[in-house]
Amino acid sequence: MASKFLLALAICKLIITVGLNVEPTELLQLSLGGGRLSRDRPDVESSSLDFGMMSQVEPLAVYHPSSVDDVAWLIRAAYESGRGFAVSARGHGHSINGQAQAAGGVVIKMSGTGPAAKSRPAPRVVAEEGYVDVWGGELWIDVLRSTLERGLAPKSWTDYLYLSVGGTLSNGGISGQAFNHGPQISNVYELDVVTGKGDIVTCSEEKNSQLFHAVLGGLGQFGIITRARIALEPVPQRVRWIRVLYSNFSSFTRDQEHLTSLHGEPASKKFDYVEGFVIVDEGLINNWRSSFFSSRNPVKISSLDTDGGILYCLEVTKNYDESNADTVDQEVEYLLKDLDFIPTSVFTTDIPYVDFLDRVHKAELKLRSKNLWDVPHPWLNLFVPRSRIADFDRGVFKGILGNKTSGPILIYPMNKNKWDQRSSAVTPEEDMFYLVALLRSANIDGTDASWTLEHLADQNRRILKFCRDERIEVKQYLPHYSTREEWVDHFGDDRWARFYRNKMEFDPKQILSTGQRIFKPDF
Ligand code: FAD
């Protein structure tokens, strides 16, 4: 009782402090619940920047919660204070355009270590029912570590595992498994969410379903995810990982679409993962996403007959363990036999499943060792309707990009029926659409003009303009817009009306995730 009283007192002080903009040092005296409110420079500075390194906005303070109650108390403080203040959850801060920032408000650090993190609930695997309950700030790599102990793993992934559960569920969470299992937001059974009013709500398909669907892909606008119940499957032991090359774009997309359309087939008659990438310049065949084409697997691009100097790489995997080790070769052969790739370009490797899932982290370590990780990343992720992907190829890969890319370009199709239309995520209207991810890094020393931030940002603008001019109805994944009109256009009238209604219901003071710049709070 006494501690509740002290907590209430602390919150009143926070409200007064933030509301009246009293000396920030007063914030240091506050300690909410088991959490810690900090104005330490390292905390404030690290919460002002993200992976994109293109937008720097300082919060007034950073809050390290130890429990769902801490998160609820802080949001209630923001909601009930006269003027209100911005509150943004920050997972691993791997956004590109400041989406997890809270200008002049409080960033809640959901991920990371430290004293407060010790009290957060650890992952709880319920093997019999095939799920794991995890804290919203848990990183996917740690989710994997905990489920592996029970011989299980989540079904749907991102390519990179050092992202938080709350961060990817606020967007979609996609990788080469999405054609089959759907995005990560299609593989969640239940959530605990703290709404913009500070209410703690458990929601699922059956219970408080409006909030459940709103939050999935909801860009952090309706509440902070403090717990997610994630679907699991038995973990395979190994992965047969295959890459084949194409010089002809229509053969490449025909084959990708064919493999993607097999999602309803039995496991032995489809791949477990389908992705691909565009090779615009030879130097990038071993791009940072993976150094797959090793010296044991030499590939001479110049020796291949390319289409306008461009190659396309289809990347597929087949999971296996003791039960199907004898048949994996046949299954792969059966699936490859109808494809139309360059016959001499089959590259195969075989690695443990966990190494495959964690493949991008190895590349991260390499880039870090060369000081090439903490650089600006003007990434652009687009969902392109299947019917227009050839136009996109002509105008962008063979047009705007020239023959320099400064980063990997991923391209792979997904099935729209694997995306629940009740969620807040936005996809194109067609049954199948492509992810095109231009994952480029800017050169900070400015030695190569085609790799500068200005040049790459200008190319991104030209790509979006090209799509508008050609009426290619792309949707941005991890969207970033600056005007209300652009956001309405992104959602389309009906979905925007629903998104807006949900905002008014679950975060009426518009205090949450202001870094997305969708709603303008009036403080
Ligand atoms: P943050 O950047 O911390 O937050 C993102 C948004 O979510 C913010 O608006 C924030 O307020 C909100 N948010 C964070 N936590 C919560 C919560 N608990 N509840 C409610 N809202 C919350 N995406 C893919 O789909 N597939 C990929 O393969 C992929 N690979 C990537 C690889 C790298 C190297 C990087 C940098 C990004 C990649 N992404 C990928 C994008 C990534 O999924 C998103 O940027 C995601 O938001 C990052 O998670 P985070 O924990 O860093 O989120």
Q: pLDDT digit string (tens) for 186-238?
A: 999 999 999 999 999 999 999 999 999 999 999 999 999 999 999 999 999 99
Q: In the structure, what pLDDT confidence band is assigned to residue 17 with cuts at 50, 70 and 90?
A: very low
Let me know whether 141 and 212 are in one domain: yes
Q: Quick one: 228 and 251 in the same domain? A: no
Q: How many domains does the chain have?
A: 3
Q: What is the mean pLDDT of residues 99-107?
A: 97
Instruction: Look at residues 349, 363, 356 and name the one whose alpha carbon lies nearest to residue 296.
Output: 349
For residues 67 and 118, give the distance between their C-alpha atoms in angstroms, rounded to a whole number. Answer: 10
Q: Where residue 1 falls among pLDDT bands split at 50, 70, 90?
A: very low
Contact 418, 183 (CB under 8 A): yes
Proportion of the chain above pLDDT 70, given as a percent = 88
Helix (H, G, I), strand (E, B) or coil at 520: coil
Average pLDDT over residues 338-367: 95
Q: In terms of domains, do 410 and 287 share one? A: yes
Q: 394 lies in a domain?
A: yes
Ligand 1 and 158: CB distance under 6 A:
yes
3-state secondary structure of 195: strand
pLDDT at 3: 43
Per-residue pLDDT averaged across 243-266, rounded? 97
255 and 350 within one domain: yes
CB of 95 within 6 A of ligand 1: the answer is yes
Of 322-326, 330-334, 417-421, which gets the smallest average pLDDT?
A: 322-326
- 509 assigned to some structural domain: no
Average pLDDT of the segment spanning 99-117: 95
Best of 88, 158, 161, 162 for a ligand 1 pocket test (most atoms within 8 Å of beta carbon): 158
- Please name every residue paired with 61 in a beta bridge, in sequence order, or none if there are none: 106
Residues annotated as catalytic (active site), given as ranges: 94, 159, 275
Q: Classify 306 as helix, strand or coil.
A: coil
Instruction: Give the distance (Å) from ligand 1 centre to CA of residue 303.
Output: 40
Q: Let me know whether 25 and 39 are in one domain.
A: yes
pLDDT-derived band at 404 (thresholds 50, 70, 90) equals confident
At residue 148, the pLDDT reads 98
Q: How confident is the model at residue 293 (pLDDT cuts 50, 70, 90)?
A: low
Whether 106 and 195 share a structural domain: no
* Confidence at residue 199, expressed as pLDDT on a 0 to 100 scale: 98
Distance between CA atoms of residues 100 and 48, nearest Å: 9
Q: pLDDT by residue (tens digit) across 57-80?
A: 999 999 999 999 999 999 999 999
Residue given tokens 């095109």 in the structure block? 436
Average of pLDDT values for 342-357?
Answer: 95
Give the end of a domain, one of 234, 256, 282. Answer: 234
Whole-number mean pLDDT of the chain?
Answer: 90
Q: What is the mean pLDDT of residues 409-421?
A: 98
Are 220 and 259 within one domain? no
Query: What pLDDT shows up at residue 305?
Result: 67
Judgement on whether residues 95 and 45 belong to the same structural domain of the protein: yes
Q: Whose CA is nearest to atom 7 of ligand 1?
A: 167
Ligand 1 contact, 99 CB (< 6 A): yes
Domain shared by 331 and 313, yes or no: yes
Mean predicted confidence (pLDDT) in 413-428: 98
pLDDT, position 520: 87
440 plus 329 within the same structural domain: yes
Indicate if ligand 1 lies below 6 Å from the C-beta of 224. yes
Mutate to test the pocket of ligand 1, among 95, 96, 358, 379 (most ligand atoms within 8 A of CB): 95
- Given a cut of 60, whether residue 363 has pLDDT beyond it is yes
Confidence (pLDDT) at 30: 55
Output the residue whose Cα is nearest ligand 1's atom 40.
Answer: 158
CATH number at residue 50: 3.30.43.10
Nearest CA to ligand 1 atom 37: 94
Q: State whether the beta carbon of 97 lies less than 6 angstroms from ligand 1.
A: no
The pLDDT score that the predictor gives to residue 446 is 62
Query: 326 C-alpha to center of ligand 1: Å?
Result: 39
Our answer on whether the CB atom of 218 is closer than 6 Å to any ligand 1 atom is: no
Mean pLDDT, residues 123-152 taken together: 98
Evaluate whether residue 492 is within a structural domain.
no
Determine the distance separating the centroid of ligand 1 and the alpha carbon of 490, expressed in angstroms.
19
pLDDT grade for 440, boundaries at 50, 70 and 90: very high
Check: CB of residue 289 under 8 Å from CB of residue 408.
yes
Would residue 481 count as lying in a domain?
Answer: no
Average pLDDT over residues 142-153: 98
pLDDT band at 180 (very low <50, low <70, confident <90, very high): very high
> What mean pLDDT is predicted for residues 263-291?
80
Give the integer Cα–Cα distance in Å for 442 and 456: 7
Q: Please tell me the predicted confidence (pLDDT) of residue 436.
A: 98
43 contacts: CB under 8 Å, gap ≥ 6: 62, 109
Both 246 and 227 in one domain: the answer is: no
Q: Span 24-37, mean pLDDT?
A: 60
Last residue of a domain, one of 77, 96, 116: 116
pLDDT of residue 443: 81
Percent of the chain with pLDDT over 90: 81
**Distance from Cα 306 to the centre of ligand 1, integer Å:** 36
Task: Please tell me the residue having the least CA distance from ligand 1 atom 33.
Answer: 160
> For residue 173, which atom of ligand 1 is closest to its CA?
25
Asked which of 234, 257, 288 is the last residue of a domain, the reply is 234
Please report, for the chain, how many H helices and E strands are present, in that order. Answer: 16, 18
Could you tell me the two tokens for 393? Answer: 């190829």
CA distance 392 to 464: 11
Q: What is the pLDDT of residue 128?
A: 98
Minimum mean pLDDT range among 13-22, 200-209, 421-430: 13-22
167 lines ligand 1 (CB under 6 A): yes
The response to whether residue 89 sits with its C-beta less than 6 Å from ligand 1 reads: yes
Supply the pLDDT for residue 21: 45
Burial 65-98, CB ≥16 within 10 A → b, else e: bbbbbbbbbbbbbbbebeebbbbbbbbbbbbbbb
Q: Which atom of ligand 1 approaches the CA of 88 most closely?
A: 11
Q: Residue 24's domain spans which residues?
A: 2-116
